[in-house]
Amino acid sequence: MTDSPTTEAAVEAEPVKEETGGSLRAKLEEALAEVKTLKAEKLDAAFTDIGLSPTTGLGKAIAKEYDGAPTTEALAEYAKTEYEWEKPVAPVTDPPVAQEIATEQAALDAASQTAGSVPIVPSEADDLAAAEAAGDYQKTLDIKSRQIEAQIRGR
């Protein structure tokens, strides 16, 4: 069995750098600053999503003390729990067509309520049918003669 030359070569190919504590600390501070910037950007977006500004009013107070996850849900939950604040819900407005339909429906309903109070006048056909059903031959002949007379006159 032979020693693996690739393993030894890989170890020798990587030069060992000695990092001083100062350069590691600088890299750490740089990484932490970048994380802080990214978190601030996400929080700004989360504040906007829930309807608050991190620079004024309640949003400013929350921004000073909030140290949770930079998500909209977590921030909204924190605001609700700590300040009993919830994002206001915008009132739902009907589209203009729906408003027009509702207005016309109300007018139609009002007209139908008054229409029921108009007495129904029986037509000549209803009178004829009632007279025939009752066996009133005189009334039946009178109605039929008026119909024939109206046809002759051209009405």
pLDDT digits (tens, 9 = 90+) for 76-102: 888 888 878 787 776 667 677 878 888
Residues 35, 83, single domain; the answer is: yes
**Count of the separate structural domains present in the chain:** 2
The number of beta carbons lying within 10 Å of the beta carbon of residue 39 is: 13
- Indicate if the pLDDT at residue 142 is higher than 80: yes
Does residue 95 lie within any of the structural domains? no
On whether the CB atoms of residues 32 and 16 are closer than 8 A, the answer is no
Does residue 35 lie within any of the structural domains? yes
Does residue 32 lie within any of the structural domains? yes
The model's confidence at residue 39, banded by pLDDT at 50, 70 and 90, is confident
In the chain, beta strands by DSSP E: none
Residues 34, 84, single domain; the answer is: yes
- Averaged pLDDT for residues 1-25: 58
Structure confidence at residue 1 (pLDDT):
47
Which 3 state secondary structure label does DSSP give 34?
helix
- Indicate if the pLDDT at residue 10 is higher than 90: no
d(CA 65, CA 16): 44
- Indicate if the pLDDT at residue 118 is higher than 60: no
Residues 85, 123, single domain; the answer is: no
| The last residue of a domain, from among 45, 70, 89 | 89
The number of beta carbons lying within 10 Å of the beta carbon of residue 97 is: 8
Which 3 state secondary structure label does DSSP give 19?
coil
Model pTM score: 0.39
Does residue 51 lie within any of the structural domains? yes
| The last residue of a domain, from among 67, 89, 111 | 89
Residues 30, 77, single domain; the answer is: yes
The model's confidence at residue 140, banded by pLDDT at 50, 70 and 90, is very high
DSSP conformation class of 91: P
Q: Taking CA 15 as the corner, what is the angle to CA 9 and CA 17, rounded to the nearest 5 degrees?
A: 155
Does residue 8 lie within any of the structural domains? no
Residues 80, 123, single domain; the answer is: no
Give residue 80's domain range.
26-89
- Averaged pLDDT for residues 46-72: 82
The residue written with tokens 């600088």 in the block is: 26
How many residues does this entry show for the chain?
Answer: 155
Does residue 132 lie within any of the structural domains? yes
Does residue 97 lie within any of the structural domains? no
Residues 126, 74, single domain; the answer is: no
The residue written with tokens 């003390």 in the block is: 65
Does residue 78 lie within any of the structural domains? yes
Higher-confidence position of 13 and 138: 138
